[in-house]
Structure 1
Amino acid sequence: MLAYQQPYTEPVHDRKRMLRVLMLSWEYPPYIVGGMGSHVAGLVPRLGGLATDHGRQQVDLITTRYAGGYAVETVNDFVTVHRLDLPPLDPHDLYNSVVASNEQLLAYARQLVLDRQYDLIHIHDWLAGPAGVALKYEWKVPLVTTIHATERGRHQGQICNYTSQQIDALEWQICHEAWRVIVCSNFMRNEVHRYFQQPQDKISVIPNGIDPARLHHCRPEERRTLRTRYAPNGERLLFYVGRIVHEKGLHVLLQAMPKILSRYPDVRLLVGGKNSRKMWPLAHELGVERSVVFLDFISDQERDMFYQIADAAIFPSLYEPFGIVALEAMALGCNVIASDVGGLGEVVQHLVNGLTVYPNDPDSIAWAVDQLFSNPTTAQQRRARALSMVRHHYNWSNIARQTSRVFETVVTERRQTDW
């Protein structure tokens, strides 16, 4: 049993005309595993203080402390992060260990509410679902759910075991209980509608984004040094970065390498991702192991540097609700080749800001690489359009305003509704 954690006490200030949001997310810096953590990290600081018809937004975020960080962190005058020390998740009983940890999220939230009243609860994915649903009924406060990905989607529409069945059922519940559901792409809206029988007009599409200022921009000498290390003889560099799981499609990219090398024998593929070396046997079987460099885990700064020396970043996903990695590559001036799947196919527009390929099709990837190398002028034009789109359509300030409008609408409707 973990020791009881004393909740944060709100400082005394003018509490009038506030729209108070309690947000629950399993991930927040420094603990980021995937797209959900990146999304919450970009969104939360910009939500706080936004003006609404109900006053400025005040956000309390309850999250985990798996990677350290202050137990209580004041991000700005309107945002406070509360990190809880939760027990490690049991990989052999993932669902039940998550549900058990939700009791601590719930207990902490019950203490926070003793000196403040919330207008809205916002949860991210199923991991914080039990606590979010319980608080909705205890406080009679509307729940907003953001679905970043679905269990069925991750497994190509299948429920493969009992744990998946439990997660899928909880995903259905948190969508059903929500006043409003937020997703990051039209693909995800259709998926939530189809899998969880949610009406289309209950689902708001708000994209993910990036903050170009937080990316590492290499100095010319850094680029030269890194390029010399990995392409000492002027080799063409392809770059993959992502989790080494089936849904990300790295095996498809490796299967494309023989055909790519038959046309461009000087190509070298750089693979970034924790435990990427486990894919070496496939590279060896395909006879391309001498042209593939498995980098294993790389930091965000290293990732950004590789984007700036690569001739193309390739994202061969089989399932991708959005695809923040594509935006990061575009923001750093890298050519992008991506599967025309999910939200990734909405971010990367074929022949406009990148090249798209058929999912699970090595020949299609080889075709796109040939198109890229054969037409450098048009590739440069696509890069310029991509950079402009990232700056204007995928910035977090704009995304926070869209999210705030959803909150404002939900709170207005709640105040007009008997409960």
Structure 2
Amino acid sequence: MTKRIAIISEHASPLGSFGGTDSGGQNVYVGQTAKQLAALGYSVDVFTRRDAPDLPEAVLWHNGVRIIHVPAGPAAPVPKEQLLPHMKAFTRFMVAFIRREQIRREQQDGGYHLVHANFWMSAQVASQIKQYTGIPFVVTFHALGKVRRRHQGEADGFPDDRFAIEEQVVQQADGLIAECPQDRDDLIQLYGADARKIHIVPCGVDLSEFWPIPKRQARATLGLPAAERVVLQLGRMVPRKGVDTVLEAIALLNRQRLSTRLVVVGGESAVPDPQVTPEIGRLQAIAADLGIGDRVSFVGQRGREVLKYFYSAADVFVTTPWYEPFGITPLEAMACGTPVIGSNVGGIKFTVRDGETGYLVAPKNAREVCDRIAFLYQNPSVLNLFGRQAQRHVARRFTWAKVASALAGIYESVLSTGLSATAETTINDLAQIEARFDASILAMRQARRLVSADILAVSRQISDCFNRGGKVLVCGNGGSAAESQHFAAELVGRFCSHHRTGLPVMALTADVALLTAWANDVGYSDIFARQVYTFAQPDDLLLVISTSGRSPNLVQAVAAAKACNVRTVGLLGGSGGDLLPLVDQAICVPSPDPQRIQEVQLLALHLICEWVEADLERSDPPALPRSQEEATPLHPRKVASSAASLPASQSS
């Protein structure tokens, strides 16, 4: 059964233009998550306010994604600070729409399985829909009212009602999605949120939309001089984004005879017009006062299809907001291979690695921004290194496919919890089991899309290890310890092939006497590292298995393997934890649920066994009769003395 998701984003439509006062990261977030969720098999409707008279009620935007334009308030642009009075009409329309869908589809759940609200007013609507229909909801706030008021004071145009609404929503939501660790802390400390309901899921970037373009080509496309120093600032034109800090930094650079041009992208119109975008007028006045009016290019609003040229044309991307719930533009810049200098706040300090992909600076500190830009220009090798590292960093951790997979895991967790809580009155035990099957199948589908290439890479590394005459050391804790011995048993014994010699795999979890003695006498964190130092040889490979990636004894085992010049592979889950950046190759299961992670990890181990055996068959000579096999081994190899003692049967 295809599950239907209703996404609410009252002011930020996926069809909106990027860079306006009320158009920015949320528009991108909603559109990208909707498309990626549809790719995972969900049916998605995005409900957003109708802000133009010619917009139809429903638009098929992408395969599996509709945009539903809600008549709430005038069919014209309205600042989001003034939208709260129109939310009752928004709710009425959605409830009626859901009931129409219920009749049309002849379903008892109102047509939608879950609502994902974006922003506090959308969350209020979702909360009321839950009261009317019982449909559970999760919320991504994107910005919290109490944080905004702390930084903007009287300039904050939202009503005080926002605080009470957010507090109520935090208690009523079935799941809270924080975009970074600071967002999570604010929800707990300022709103009393239940930490068990909070899931950290960052924003992402579309690598098919943003990639490095040769700098000379990008500048020629935009009409920028090829040899000039160019710094980019791109985003919404509002005071809290701190563009004035960047202007002051550029002025300082030019006074140091580091002549630099600042390109500013954003605004309400394609031509930078202070009448249409007052913030541009304020910034132009500041640039003139600083004497750098001729060194600053305001280019106005630009379509997303050309933003990669701006990111690629720049030497450095600078973003210095006072606060930032997440911030998508640093990810887009890094995806294009451009280092980022950003404020050490909110999501930026989560995505930018200080001293690796750019630098973090204090907000409103132009001198620090200037010094960091100057250093990079004076050290071009560091500038180039940061750019390469930035691109790899984003591709590894911050893609929309990974974001959607994490969201889908949260949806399934919320839905399975809701089913369990109401099972006595709404479903039978069989339906509960089917829901778990659905969650497991979804996890498998996500893993197939995201980690198949990693499984193949690991299989090849293990096969190469055996071909070099090396052995595989494998370890983990708890259920992962059992999987370590399972994996060793399959390869020391046999998996599918009935006519091969044993392969040298040593489970470091198998020697109970050693484990208990060393843990008692020295410490549990050293039990695997001790064995790695004892048994590992340079041609060997260490495989660590963990659902969280945070086990200290596995971290120490990897460190020991590095010291022994042994390659390391991690079979991990979730974010990958501490182990992800340490291992040479990783298979990271994209799920927040340990049970789902273990299920996919078991499949991954079986696929590795199957591929390794097939690789042996491709390179082996024909099998000899049993009588000759003992006298002439097909593949003499090193024997691992502590390998799992018994082969696993096919039913294990």
**Alignment TM-score, normalising by the size of structure 2:** 0.57
Give the Å deviation of 1:315: 0.5
Matches within 5 A, 1:25-36: 25-26=9-10, 27-31=12-16, 33-36=23-26
Q: Determine whether 1:61 maps to 2:46.
A: yes
**2:126 is aligned with 1:132:** yes
**8 Å Cα contact 1:207-1:399 kept in structure 2:** yes
Contact 2:116/2:138 (8 A) holds in 1: yes
Shift of 1:43: 0.8
What count of residue pairs does the alignment treat as equivalent?
A: 396
Tell me, in whole angstroms, the C-alpha distance in 2 between the residues paired with 1:242 and 1:340.
17
Contact 2:211 2:337 in 1 (8 A): no
In structure 2, which of residues 26, 29, 39 is the aligned counterpart of residue 39 of structure 1?
29
Cα distance 1:292–1:57, how it changes in 2: closer, same or farther (>3 A)? closer
Render the CA deviation track for 1:386-412: whole Å, top value 9, x for unaligned: 111211211111111111111111111
- 2:119·2:141 contact (CA, 8 Å) conserved in 1? yes
Letter aligned with residue 239 of structure 1: L
Distance 1:265 1:22 in 2: 51
Q: CA RMSD in A?
A: 2.5
Q: Match for 2:38 among 18, 31, 48?
A: 48
1:415 corresponding residue in structure 2: 419
Bigger mean CA deviation after superposition, 71-80 or 402-411: 71-80
Q: Does structure 1 retain, via aligned residues, the 8 Å contact 2:57–2:68?
A: yes
1-structure distance, mates of 2:189, 2:387: 35
Q: Which amino acid aligns with 1:258?
A: A
Opposite residue 122 of structure 2, the aligned amino acid is A
Partner of 2:185: helix, strand, or coil?
Answer: helix
Residue identity in the other structure for 2:97: Y
1:162-173 to 2 correspondence within 5 Å? 163-173=158-168
Following superposition, the deviation at residue 413 of structure 1 comes to 0.8
Quote the residue 1:195 is aligned against. Answer: 190
Conserved in 2, the CA contact under 8 Å of 1:94 and 1:163?
Answer: no
Q: Distance in 1 between matches of 2:319 and 2:356?
A: 17
Match of 1:7 in 2: none
1:322 and 2:311 equivalent? no
Counterpart Cα distance in 2 of 1:94 and 1:141: 24
Equivalent-residue separation in structure 1 for 2:219 and 2:249 (angstroms): 28
- Alpha-carbon distance between aligned partners in 2 of 1:237 and 1:349, rounded to the nearest angstrom: 22
Measure how far apart 1:191 and its partner are: 1.5
What is aligned with 1:240? 233
Change (3 A) 1:89 1:225: closer
Deviates more, 1:306-315 or 1:119-128: 119-128
TM-superposed deviation, 1:106: 3.4
Give the structure 2 partner of residue 105 of structure 1: 94
* Cα displacement (A) at 1:327: 0.8
Counterparts of 2:151 and 2:197 in 1: how far apart (Å)? 22
**CA distance, structure 2, for counterparts of residue 151 and residue 286 of structure 1:** 34
**Is contact 2:213-2:336 (8 Å) kept?**
no
Aligned position for 2:522: none
Which has the larger displacement, 324-333 or 213-222? 213-222
Amino acid at match of 1:170: I
Which residue number in structure 2 is paired with residue 289 of structure 1? 293
Q: Report the CA distance shift for 1:401/1:287 in structure 2 as closer, same or farther (over 3 A).
A: same
Q: CA shift at 1:345, angstroms? A: 1.0
Query: Which residues of structure 2 form unaligned runs of 5+?
Result: 18-22, 268-276, 426-652
Structure 1 residue 24 corresponds to structure 2 residue 13? no
Shift of residue 97 of structure 1? 3.2
Q: Tell whether the 8 Å contact from 2:24 to 2:235 is kept in structure 1 after alignment.
A: no
Residues 210 and 359 (structure 1), Cα distance of their counterparts in 2 relative to 1, 3 Å cut? same
Per-residue CA deviation, residues 81-124 of structure 1 (Å, 9 max, x unaligned), is: 32334423654843213444443333323322333323222211
SS in 2 for 1:156: helix
Whole-Å Cα distance in 2 between the matches of residues 76 and 294 of structure 1? 33
Shift of 1:358: 1.4
Equivalent residue, structure 2, for 1:80 = 66
Q: CA deviation at 1:38?
A: 0.6
2: distance between equivalents of 1:42 and 1:148?
Answer: 15
Instruction: Provide closer, same or farther for how the CA distance between residues 277 and 306 of structure 1 changes in structure 2, counting only shifts above 3 A.
Output: farther
**Residue 306 of structure 1 pairs with residue 313 of structure 2:** no
Corresponding position of 2:611: none
Shift of 1:231: 2.9
Deviation larger for 118-127 or 199-208: 118-127
* Residues 41-78 of structure 1, C-alpha deviations (whole Å, 9 max, x = no match): 1111221363xxxxx53333322343676643445664
Matches within 5 A, 1:239-278: 239-274=232-267, 275=277, 276-278=280-282
How far is the alpha carbon of 1:205 from its aligned partner?
0.4
For the 8 Å contact 2:87–2:125, the answer to whether it is kept is no
In the aligned structure 1, how far is the partner of 2:254 from the partner of 2:13? 41
Q: Distance in 2 between matches of 1:394 and 1:162?
A: 32
Q: Identity, % of aligned pairs?
A: 24
Q: Secondary structure at the match of 1:293?
A: strand
Letter paired with 2:119: D
Shift of 1:134: 1.5
Q: Are the aligned partners of 2:5 and 2:43 in contact in 1 as well (CA < 8 Å)? A: yes
The separation in 2 between residues aligned to 1:120 and 1:208, in whole angstroms, is 20
Q: Name the larger-Rg structure.
A: 2
Secondary structure in 2 aligned to 1:48? helix
Name the aligned partner's letter for residue 29 of structure 1.
P
Q: Hey, what's the Cα distance between the residues in 2 that align with 1:368 and 1:231?
A: 23
Q: Out of 55, 71, 96, which is 2:85 matched to? A: 96
Matching residue's letter, 1:211: D
CA–CA separation in structure 2 for the residues paired with 1:373 and 1:76: 43
Q: Alpha-carbon deviations, 1:165-218, whole Å to 9, x = none?
A: 122222222222101101211111111222211022211000111112123765
The residue type equivalent to 2:9 in the other structure is S
Cα distance between partner residues in 2 of 1:156 and 1:213: 38
Find the counterpart in structure 2 of residue 362 from structure 1.
Answer: 366
Query: Offset of 1:241 from its aligned partner?
Result: 1.0
Quote the residue 2:114 is aligned against: 120
Give the TM-score of the pair, scaled to structure 1. 0.86
State the match for 1:152 in structure 2.
Answer: 146
Alignment partners' CA distance in 2, 1:349 and 1:268: 25
Q: Which runs of 5+ in 1 are unaligned?
A: 1-16, 51-55
In the alignment, which residue of structure 1 is the partner of 2:585?
Answer: none
In 1, the alpha carbon distance for the partners of 2:42 and 2:26 equals 21
